[in-house]
Amino acid sequence: MKALIVIDMQNDFCPGGALAVPEGDMIVPGINALMAECDAVILTQDWHPAGHSSFASSHAGRAPYDMIDMPYGPQVLWPDHCVQGSRGAALHAELTTDRADLIIRKGYNPAIDSYSAFFENDQTTPTGLEGYLRTRGITEVVMAGLALDFCVNFSAVDAARLGFGVSVRQELCRAIDLNGSLNAALEGMKTAGVALT
């Protein structure tokens, strides 16, 4: 059983959004088409409460893209984005959502960011996605979405570590590319055994 996991295909990560990824909206038609090739379709949604600890605005004197040390490790500070219930947090209007078996939200813990669809950034707190996939008999996951160097990367590496067969459809992803983050992510995914196609 093979699942397509579509990562954070939300308005705030598309042009005009609060944390826009260049060309982020261009991948939607290809992702919709890919849904037909998979046994299950799962969508993720970055879903932060207002005042989330990953927002630069929550830290006096800090600006977006600064790094800070959180109790769980280094963390990039982001512009406010994907606030629960906001238009920016909504899935892109052209994304086919009818085919989705599950929409999983992450980043709702005010104190911990969650790039990965499997674990929060403490690398310990699970989102429940692993159990969902295993109980459905899914052994292979295909990933696409935003952003390649953050949420797709962390999700893919975690899935590989958990023992799933993982392929990332690079042409159906776009990256933020902050201080070399794209190259680092590609290397990290390869090392983890993720197939980059």
Binding residues for ligand VGL, rule: CB under 6 A, are 8, 13, 46, 78, 115, 146-147, 150-151
Catalytically annotated residue among 82, 151, 158, 173: 151
Residue 150 binding: pick among ligand VGL, Zn ion, none (C-beta 5-8 Å cut-off by kind): ligand VGL
Which residue among 12, 25, 46, 149 contacts Zn ion (CB under 5 A)? Answer: 46
| Number of residues in contact with Zn ion under rule CB under 5 A | 2
Place of tokens 């005042």: 51
**177 backbone dihedrals φ, ψ, rounded to 5°:** 55, 75
Residue nearest to Zn ion (CB): 46
Residue 168 binding: pick among ligand VGL, Zn ion, none (C-beta 5-8 Å cut-off by kind): none
The minimum distance between CB 195 and ligand VGL, in angstroms, equals 20
d(CA 118, CA 108) in angstroms, rounded, equals 13
d(CA 41, CA 136) in angstroms, rounded, equals 12
Strand locations in the chain, DSSP E?
2-7, 40-46, 67-70, 73-76, 102-106, 140-146, 165-174, 195-196
Catalytically annotated residue among 14, 38, 46, 106: 106
Residues catalogued as catalytic: 8, 106, 151
